[in-house]
Amino acid sequence: MIDPIFLAEAAVNGLLLGGVLALLALGLNLIFGVIDIVWIAYVDLVMICMYAVYFLVQVYGWPIWIGSLASVGLGALLGIAVHVLIISPILGSAPVNQLLATGGLLFFLQSFATFLWTTDHRSVRLTLPTLEYGGMFLSFARLVAFAVALLVMLGLFLFLRHTYIGTAIRAVSQDREAMALMGANPRTVYVVTSAVGGALAGVAAALLIIQYSVHPFFGAAFGPLTFMICVLGGLGNMIGAFVAAFIMSEIISIGGVVWSTEMGYVIAFVIFIIMIFVRPGGLFARRA
Amino acid sequence: MSAGRVGVGVLLAALVAAPFVPMGGMRQYIFHVLIQIFVWSFIGGAWALMGRFGLVSLGHGAFLGLGAYTTTLLWNFFGLTPWLGALVAVVLTAALAVIVAYPCSRFQVIGHYFGLVTLAVGEVVRLLIIAERDWTGGSLGLTVRPAGADSLVAVQFADKRVFYYAALVLWALGLWVWHRVDRSMARSAMEAIGEDETAAASVGIHVTRFKIAITVLSAVLTAVGGIAYAQYIAYVNPDTLAGIGVSLRIVFAVVLGGMYALLGPTVGTALTIALAEVLRVVFGITYVGMAETIYGLLLIVFIIFLPSGIYGSVRDLLRRRPRSQPAAPVTA
């Protein structure tokens, strides 16, 4: 029998991980909802930003918050670059080709990172305390990451609700053709969406590097999980993705303590597959 | 068409005769590359059986891994010959394919969703292999237990020529299956389903039955390819035989070549393997990752500029020319 304290600790850790996963899923979901393309390489962009924070903070000694801001900026630039260089030439192509183009980007980023930085695991060593509460040990870094993730998501919500471009983004995700008829330029919306999605990847990178070490295959570890969260919540559905992130992270965290890390993922993926059959439109889809 | 037949005959004769051509010290290496091209073309062709009808699977690594690990584990732990092991593996793969395909077609999981469900299945198989590390060796992989000498029972041979001919036969078998499907009624039915499921069902096509059949066929052939590859390399690893990486590689090769043509998967696989080998030879171990970096970049470029695949684009070009000539006098 497993000590209930361990289970509680796993549940809290799952909750904290869920915050960062939700941020990732929202970024990917935003892009999917607007441009209708799944960026297979999304988490690999996060990996590149994680390296950026690592080098700025650990090697050049910048303060972590400046490193994080730089990561956000880099993420936005990468997002725009991906859209302009890869996505916009193939907007009219078959969905397989669109998926594979970003899949090619995945291979490129993974191997280029291997080439530049080898497969060593690198981490930012911050001296953050560990909190003890009722026998549970909680990492302060994770608490900070969770809080920042929630704040950024709130910011994203306000941006989409209360700015002109945010409204345009929501409009495109509802009806692409009607949007163009209303006189808005979908191209600008696409570029802004890619930049915002990339910036969210940058934020996630800054929050992940203080908890995990980065290596070229980081994207392979978190990528499939991120897609599944998006689909589970309903592709393009922000609130669904938010809830799904916490469900998946709890399963992985608790499953990891009860069985093994891999089994935690296996259970999460199997539940994902079953959920697709039961509720194909996502957790909160209205039945047609 | 007769010129085409002659060309095919010459090519086949050349492939059959290849082992008797003196190649000096390069022999082993050339055979190694050719065997890989044949086996992965066969697997690519198996994937394309589904892919061409809009069932874009991103998880064929699941079938590949299930096939390869089943035969290898049965041989290593129970001494069961890979011939019988392959039978067990085929049955298991077919069962997995039905488990995936039945709900997918029953609940109309198509497009992006189908891709992501299959991707999840591929990851589940990879993670299960890693999790059961007491049996499977986890992410370190597993060596096929050596039989000691050349053995038909163990399907282990020191001479690469045996594997070369086996791979050639396998490849030809894959082309034959593709050809049969291409000429069958099932093809028309599947194309109708790929276009519009509801419309297809309304003209009396049994959507679920056709989808399950093509998925099982594709999965079983993929498993056979995985078994062949494992027997040849004599080593299985969850990252090279299951999961997202290998699944994407299969899709890449096929889309690069063109998935609607008989030889598309072969052309794509031959090119990607040749490219990977050239880059590996050029950069060697001095620049780890450089070869793969260029590979990834070229894939993006190819997909942007050759959307219907290399073979497809070349064939379209060749076909367009003769047709435009007879059309000219009509307009004049």
* Distance, CA of A38 to CA of A227 (rounded, Å): 8
Contact between A104 and B297 using a beta-carbon 8 Å cutoff: yes
A26: Cα separation from own chain's centroid:
7
What does the mean pLDDT of chain B come to?
85
Name which of B96, B101, B98, B74 is nearest B85 in CA terms. B74
CA distance A131 to chain B (A): 31
Residue B103 lies in a domain: yes
The nearest CA of chain B is from the CA of A139 a distance in Å of 27
Res. B116: pLDDT tops 50: yes
pLDDT score of B167:
93
Residues in chain B within 8 Å Cβ distance of A97: 255, 303, 307
Question: Which 3 state secondary structure label does DSSP give B320?
Answer: helix
What pLDDT score was predicted for residue B112? 75
B84 band by pLDDT with thresholds 50, 70 and 90: very high
Which domains does chain A possess? 4-278 (1.10.3470)
> Do B248 and A262 lie within an 8 Å CB cutoff?
no
- Ramachandran angles phi, psi of A130, nearest 5°: -105, 130
The residue type at A12:
V
Residue B62 lies in a domain: yes
Residue B273 contacts residue B37 (beta carbons within 8 Å): yes
Q: Is residue B273 part of a domain?
A: no
* pLDDT for residue A232: 85
pLDDT reported for residue B225: 96
CB B91 within 8 A of CB B74: no
E strand or H helix at A250? helix A238-258
- A184-188 mean pLDDT: 80
Identity of the amino acid at A279 = R
- Among residues B103, B61, B68, which one has the least CA distance to residue B86? B68
Which candidate in A111, A226, A228, A275 is best for mutational testing of the B interface (most B CBs within 10 A)?
A: A111
For CA atoms A243, A249, A252, A256, give the dihedral sign.
negative
Q: What is the mean pLDDT of residues B7-27?
A: 78
Cβ–Cβ below 8 Å for A265 and B244: no
Cross-chain CB nearest to B248 (options A97, A103, A116): A103
**CA B236 to CA B70: how far, in whole Å?**
11
d(C-alpha B327, C-alpha A168), whole Å: 49
Report the gap between the CA of B82 and the closest CA in chain A (Å). 28
Contact B131 A228 (CB under 8 A): no
> Which chain B residue is nearest to residue A118, measuring alpha carbons?
B288
Contact B117, B104 (CB under 8 A): yes
Partners of residue A38 in chain B, C-beta under 8 Å: 112, 116
Per-residue pLDDT tens digits for A134-172 = 777 778 888 888 999 999 999 999 998 899 888 888 888
CB–CB of A269 and B295 under 8 A? Answer: no
**Ramachandran assignment for A120, one of left (phi > 0), alpha (psi -120 to 50 degrees), beta (any other):** beta
Q: Which residue has the higher pLDDT, B285 or B81?
A: B81
- The answer to whether residue B307 is domain-embedded is no
Question: What CA–CA distance (Å, rounded) separates B47 from B248?
Answer: 11
**Angstroms from A9 CA to nearest CA on chain B:** 23
Question: Does position B330 have pLDDT exceeding 60, yes or no?
Answer: no
* Lowest model confidence (mean pLDDT) among A20-29, A153-162, B130-139: B130-139
* Spatial separation of the C-alpha atoms in residues B292 and A249, rounded to whole Å: 32
Residue of A nearest to B302 (CA): A101
> pLDDT per residue over B241-300, tens digit each?
887 888 988 988 888 888 888 888 999 899 888 888 888 888 776 777 787 788 888 888
Query: How many Cβ pairs within 8 Å bridge chains A and B?
Result: 139
> How large is the average pLDDT for residues A80-103?
86
**B284 CB near a chain A CB, below 8 Å?**
no
Distance from CA of B292 to the nearest CA of A (A): 6
Which residue, among B123, B133, B139, would best test binding to A if mutated, counting the most A CBs under 10 Å from its CB? B123
Q: In chain A, which residues have their Cβ closer than 8 Å to the Cβ of B107?
A: 276-277, 280
Cβ separation of A280 and B288 shorter than 8 Å?
A: no
Statement: residue B110 has pLDDT above 80? no
Residue-number span of the structural domain to which B188 is assigned: 26-244
In angstroms, the CA B110 to CA B127 distance is: 25
- CB of B264 within 8 A of CB of B257? yes
Q: Among candidates B293, B181, B145, B110, which has minimal Cα distance to A44?
A: B293
Residues of A in contact with B121 (CB under 8 A): 269, 273
The confidence score (pLDDT) of residue B228 equals 94
In a domain, B323, yes or no: no
Nearest CA in chain A to B101: A277
pLDDT 10s digits, A224-270: 889 888 888 877 778 888 899 999 999 999 888 888 888 888 898 88
pLDDT of residue B245: 82
Structure tokens at A279: 């509720």
B117 touches A: beta carbon within 8 Å: yes
A-chain residues within 8 Å CB-CB of B109? 276-277, 280
Residues of B in contact with A90 (CB under 8 A): 303-304, 307
Which chain B residue has its CA at the smallest distance from A88's CA? B304
**Taking a contact as any Cβ pair under 8 Å apart, which residues of chain B between 64 and 103 contact chain A?**
103
- Find where tokens 């390399």 sit: B233
User: What one-letter code names the amino acid at A286?
Assistant: R
pLDDT for position B332: 35
Q: Are B164 and B19 in contact (CB under 8 A)?
A: yes
Q: How far is B208 from chain A (nearest CA, A)?
A: 14
Map tokens 């994770």 to a residue: A142
Nearest CA in chain A to B239: A220
Higher pLDDT among residues A177 and B268, named by residue = B268
Separation between Cα atoms, residue A195 and residue A77, nearest integer Å: 7
B53: left (phi over 0), alpha (psi -120 to 50) or beta: alpha
pLDDT digits (tens, 9 = 90+) for A28-80: 989 988 888 888 899 999 999 999 999 999 889 888 899 999 999 999 999 99
In a domain, B39, yes or no: yes
- Residues with Cβ < 8 Å from A278, sequence gap 6 or more? none
Number of domains in chain B: 1
* CA–CA gap between residue A216 and residue A108 (Å, rounded): 11
User: Quick check: B291 contacting A, CB < 8 Å?
Assistant: yes
Given a cut of 60, is residue A17 above it in pLDDT? yes
Nearest CA in chain B to A103: B248
Higher pLDDT, B243 or B174: B174
The pLDDT of residue B329 is above 50: no
Q: How far is A15 from chain B (nearest CA, A)?
A: 23
Provide the 3-class DSSP secondary structure of residue A135: coil
Instruction: Give the three-class secondary structure for B58.
Output: coil
Cα A231 to Cα B312: distance, rounded to the nearest angstrom: 33
Q: Is the dihedral angle over the CA atoms A184, A190, A195, A197 positive or is it negative? A: positive
User: Across residues B301-321, what is the average pLDDT?
Assistant: 76
**pLDDT for residue A165:** 86
The reported pLDDT for the residue numbered B321 is 60
Banded pLDDT at A285 (limits 50, 70, 90): low
Domain assignment present for residue B125? The answer is: yes
A136: helix, strand or coil: strand
Residue B328: predicted pLDDT: 40
Q: Are A33 and A27 in contact (CB under 8 A)?
A: no
Interface with chain B: mutation pick from A217, A276, A278, highest number of B CBs within 10 Å: A276
Rg value, chain B, Cα: 21
User: Does residue B137 fall inside a structural domain?
Assistant: yes
Longest dimension (CA), chain B: 77
Q: What is the pLDDT of residue B322?
A: 54
When scoring A98, A108, A226 by the number of chain B Cβ atoms within 10 A, the one with the most, hence best to mutate, is A108
Selection from A58-62, A177-181, B40-44, B201-205 with the highest mean pLDDT: B40-44
Give buried/exposed letters for B268-301 (b at 16+ CB in 10 A, else e): bbbbbbebbbebeeebeeeeebbbbbbbbbbbbe
Q: What are residue B236's phi and psi, to 5 degrees?
A: -120, 145
Checking if the pLDDT of B179 tops 70, the result is: yes
pLDDT of residue A199: 96
Phi then psi dihedrals of residue A62, to 5 deg: -70, 155
CA torsion through residues B145, B151, B155, B161, sign:
positive
